[in-house]
């Protein structure tokens, strides 16, 4: 299991550039990640991870309202670059859908709490997956990965890599998912 985690982390590290070049708008060049709809309709996994209070959580506990899940890490520059936009969305869109962030940091709350405090994040969640089991269950080797589920817990789309969540492509992607029946 540890070898699997080490391999997943090595692959995730390859996807994260620790010093991204910035565009004039301050958004990393990879601001439009790869959108994937190949798993549309797939049910969210019931794999446990740690909730904000350290207790057990699963994605399935969020059924009943559309859910946007962002897998990220404090050491992943593209992840860090998109966090302020995710914070804005979590505060602004809570009536339309739920947005949760799940850190893939092996140190868990020990590094997440100071990161959130430093950046003043209040609306984002402090879920963590120190064993990176969600990455494996969701079939991703890329951080950040963001997945949108409908209220029934079925995947609508996923984005591999960073996204400008304030941009028109992201707004359309979310709007289309919310409008779908």
| Domain extents in the chain | 2-17+29-179
* pLDDT by residue, tens only, the chain of 181 residues: 444 444 444 444 444 543 333 333 444 444 578 999 999 999 999 999 999 999 999 999 999 999 999 999 999 999 999 999 999 999 999 999 999 999 999 999 999 999 999 999 999 999 999 999 999 999 999 999 999 999 999 999 999 999 999 999 999 999 999 999 6
Query: Tokens in use for 20?
Result: 């991204």
Q: 117, exposed or middle or buried, with CB in 10 Å at 0-12, 13-18, 19+? A: exposed
| Residue that has been written with the tokens 């897998």 in this structure | 71
Task: Tokens for 159, please give them.
Answer: 């984005």
Please provide the CATH number assigned to the domain covering 2-17+29-179. 3.40.30.10
Contact (Cβ atoms closer than 8 angstroms) between residue 149 and residue 69: yes
pTM, rounded to two decimals: 0.84
Q: Give the C-alpha separation, 136 to 124, whole Å.
A: 23
């Amino acid at each position: 299991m540890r070898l699997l985690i080490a391999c997943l982390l090595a692959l995730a590290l390859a996807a994260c550039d620790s010093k991204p070049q910035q565009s004039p708008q301050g958004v990393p060049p990879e601001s439009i990640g790869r959108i994937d709809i190949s798993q549309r309709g797939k049910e969210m996994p019931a794999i446990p991870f740690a909730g904000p209070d350290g207790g057990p959580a699963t994605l399935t506990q969020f059924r009943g309202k559309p859910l946007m899940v962002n897998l990220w890490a404090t050491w992943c520059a593209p992840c860090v670059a998109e966090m302020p936009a995710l914070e804005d969305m979590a505060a602004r869109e809570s009536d339309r859908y739920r947005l949760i962030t799940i850190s893939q940091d092996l140190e868990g709350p020990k590094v997440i709490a100071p990161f959130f405090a430093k950046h003043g994040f209040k609306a984002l969640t402090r879920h963590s997956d120190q064993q990176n089991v969600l990455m494996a269950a969701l079939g991703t080797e890329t951080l950040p990965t963001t997945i949108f589920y409908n209220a029934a817990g079925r995947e609508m789309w996923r984005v591999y890599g960073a996204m400008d969540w304030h941009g028109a492509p992201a707004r359309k992607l979310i709007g289309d998912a919310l409008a779908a029946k």
